[in-house]
C-alpha cells in the first residue's frame, strides 16, 4: 500500500540514483529506470520522493513507482518540494499554449504529460467536458487535488476519469473509467475543422477520440481525391474528412461498434458518398487486390503493432504487408497516407520498410509531407519518447 500523508507534497523519503540516471536528469530527460536507482525507501511506497545523486546533491522531486520499470518521473528540478500552486501553474500554462487550437476544433489535449512537465498526467477537453488520466502512482495520488484545480481553471460541466489502460497495471494500480465530477452525457458532439463527431468519453478509444491525428486528417484531406479507401477507419476520422473532397470513400475496420459510430457520424454531417465495411484489413486488402480494385487515395492508420521493443521484429512484417497491398491498389499518381503510432518503430526503419514495399510493388513514390502528432501533443526536445506518431503522405507513381 502507498504511504498516505495529509499533504501529498509532504516529502519524507529519498531515492538515490546512479551516475547514468543523474546524467539523464541533468540532460533534461524526466525518467529514471529501475537499473539506474541505487537506493530506495525500505518498507514504504511514497508517491513523491526527493531525488539525489551519489554525492547527495538534490536533483529534484519525482513521482516514485517501485513496481514499474520507470522508477522515477521527475516533476521539478527545484531544491524545494513541489506545491499545489506549481501544479496549477503548469496546467494553466499548458492550456494557454493551446488557445489557438480551440479555434478550428472543439476538442483538444490540454495537458500532454511529460511534454508539459506534468509527467503521467493527461487532460483532454471535449467541448465543455474534461477527461483526466493519471498514469502513475505519483500522479494518481494527486487526483483529488487535480479535480478541483481543473474545475477552477476551466469550469467544465463534467470530468471523466479514463484510467482503464494497461499502463496502470504496470504501476500496480486498478483500471477504472467513471465520472469524477459533475455530469457527463453518454455522447458528446465535437467539431473538427467543420466536421462533427459524436464521442463516448467513458468507453471510446483513448480518451474518447484520436485527437493526435487531428492535424494529419486535415492535411491528408488537402491531397485526397477520387475514390478513397480508409483502412482501420474506426469511427471514421480520416474517411469523413476525405468524403468532403473525394467522389467516394470506403472505410474498413474490424470493430462493428466503431463502424456503427462511423455511420452515425456520416449521418451527422449529411455525407452520402461514404460507406463502411466490417473486415480484417489484412484480409480485405488481399481481396481488393485479387479483384483488381483500384483507388486514388488510401489511408493506413493502424493500431500500434509494436507496443514494446521486443514486439518490433514481429511487427515489421505487418507494417510492410499493409503498405505493399495499399501501394498495389493505388492508381498512378495516387496518394498514400500511411501512419504508425509505434514509438519503437523509428522514422528510418519506417521509411525503410516503405521503400522495400515500393520495390516489391515495382513502384516509385514522392514524399509529399512528413508529419507527426498534432501540436497539442508537443514533443519535449530532451525526451524522444514524447514523439511517437509518424505520418507520411506519398504520391505513388
- Per residue in 329-379, pLDDT tens? 999 999 999 999 988 889 999 999 999 999 999 999 999 999 999 999 999
CATH 3.30.750.80 in the chain is located at 84-188
Helix, strand, or coil (residue 56): coil
CATH number of 14-76: 2.30.130.10
**What pLDDT is recorded for position 65?**
94
The percent of residues above 70 in pLDDT, for the chain, comes to 97
In whole angstroms, how far apart are CA 163 and each of 93, 127, 154, 313? 24, 20, 21, 29
User: Using one digit for the tens of pLDDT, what is the confidence trace for 252-301?
Assistant: 999 999 999 999 999 999 999 999 999 999 999 999 999 999 999 999 99
Helix count and strand count (H, E) for the chain: 11, 20
**What pLDDT is recorded for position 225?**
98
Q: What DSSP assignment string belongs to 338-363?
A: EEE--TTS-HHHHHHHHHHHHHHHT-
Class of domain 84-188: alpha beta
**Strand (E) positions, the chain?**
14-17, 31-33, 37-39, 48-52, 58-64, 70-76, 107-112, 121-126, 129-134, 158-163, 176-182, 188-192, 195-199, 227-231, 248-253, 274-278, 295-300, 330-340, 365-371, 390-396
The pLDDT of residue 191 is above 80: yes
Pull the grid cell for residue 388.
511517437
Q: How many CB atoms lie within 10 A of CB 124?
A: 24
CATH fold label, 210-396:
Rossmann fold (3.40.50)
The pLDDT of residue 306 is above 70: no
Q: Count of residues for the chain? A: 397
**What pLDDT is recorded for position 101?**
67
CA distance 333 to 115: 38
CATH 2.30.130.10 in the chain is located at 14-76
CB-based contacts of 20-24 (< 8 A; 24+ apart in sequence): 21/72, 22/53, 22/54, 22/59
Active site residues: 341
**What pLDDT is recorded for position 236?**
97
CATH 3.40.50.150 in the chain is located at 210-396
CA distance 192 to 376: 14
Contact 9, 1 (CB under 8 A): no
Q: What is the mean pLDDT of residues 24-52?
A: 95
Amino acid at each position: 500500500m502507498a504511504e498516505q500523508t495529509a499533504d501529498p507534497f509532504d516529502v519524507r523519503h529519498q531515492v538515490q540514483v546512479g551516475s547514468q540516471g543523474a546524467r539523464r536528469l541533468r540532460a533534461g530527460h524526466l525518467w529514471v529506470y529501475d537499473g539506474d536507482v541505487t537506493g530506495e525507501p525500505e518498507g514504504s511506497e511514497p508517491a513523491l520522493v526527493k531525488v539525489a545523486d551519489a554525492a547527495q546533491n538534490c536533483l529534484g522531486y519525482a513521482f516514485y513507482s517501485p513496481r514499474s520499470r520507470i522508477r522515477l518521473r521527475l516533476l521539478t528540478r527545484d531544491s524545494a518540494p513541489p506545491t499545489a500552486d506549481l501544479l496549477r501553474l503548469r496546467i494553466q500554462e499548458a492550456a494557454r499554449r493551446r488557445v489557438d487550437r480551440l479555434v478550428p476544433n472543439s476538442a483538444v489535449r490540454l495537458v500532454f504529460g511529460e511534454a508539459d512537465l506534468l509527467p503521467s498526467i493527461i487532460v483532454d477537453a471535449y467541448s465543455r467536458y474534461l477527461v483526466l488520466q493519471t498514469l502513475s502512482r505519483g500522479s494518481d495520488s494527486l487526483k483529488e487535488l487535480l479535480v478541483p484545480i481543473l474545475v477552477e481553471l476551466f469550469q467544465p460541466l463534467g470530468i471523466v476519469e479514463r484510467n482503464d489502460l494497461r499502463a496502470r497495471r504496470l504501476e500496480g494500480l486498478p483500471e477504472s473509467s467513471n465520472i469524477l465530477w459533475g455530469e457527463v452525457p453518454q455522447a458528446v458532439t465535437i467539431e473538427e475543422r467543420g466536421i462533427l463527431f459524436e464521442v463516448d468519453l467513458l468507453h471510446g478509444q483513448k480518451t474518447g477520440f484520436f485527437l493526435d491525428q487531428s492535424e494529419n486528417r486535415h492535411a491528408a484531406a488537402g491531397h485526397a481525391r477520387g475514390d478513397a479507401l480508409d483502412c482501420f477507419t474506426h469511427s471514421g476520422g480520416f474517411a469523413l474528412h476525405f468524403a468532403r473532397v473525394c467522389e467516394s470513400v470506403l472505410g474498413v475496420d474490424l470493430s462493428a461498434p466503431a463502424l456503427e459510430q462511423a455511420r452515425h457520424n456520416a449521418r451527422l454531417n449529411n455525407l452520402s458518398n461514404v460507406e463502411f465495411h466490417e473486415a480484417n484489413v489484412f484480409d480485405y486488402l488481399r481481396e481488393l487486390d485479387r479483384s483488381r480494385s483500384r483507388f486514388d487515395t488510401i489511408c493506413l492508420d493502424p493500431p500500434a503493432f509494436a507496443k514494446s521493443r521486443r514486439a518490433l521484429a514481429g511487427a515489421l512484417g505487418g507494417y510492410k504487408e499493409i503498405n505493399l497491398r495499399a501501394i498495389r491498389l493505388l492508381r498512378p499518381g495516387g496518394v498514400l497516407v500511411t501512419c504508425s503510432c509505434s514509438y519503437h518503430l523509428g522514422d528510418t526503419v519506417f521509411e525503410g520498410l516503405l521503400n522495400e514495399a515500393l520495390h516489391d510493388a515495382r513502384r516509385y513514390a514522392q514524399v509529399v509531407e512528413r508529419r507527426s502528432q498534432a501540436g497539442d501533443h508537443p514533443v519535449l526536445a530532451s525526451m524522444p519518447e514524447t514523439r511517437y506518431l509518424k505520418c507520411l503522405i506519398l504520391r505513388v507513381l
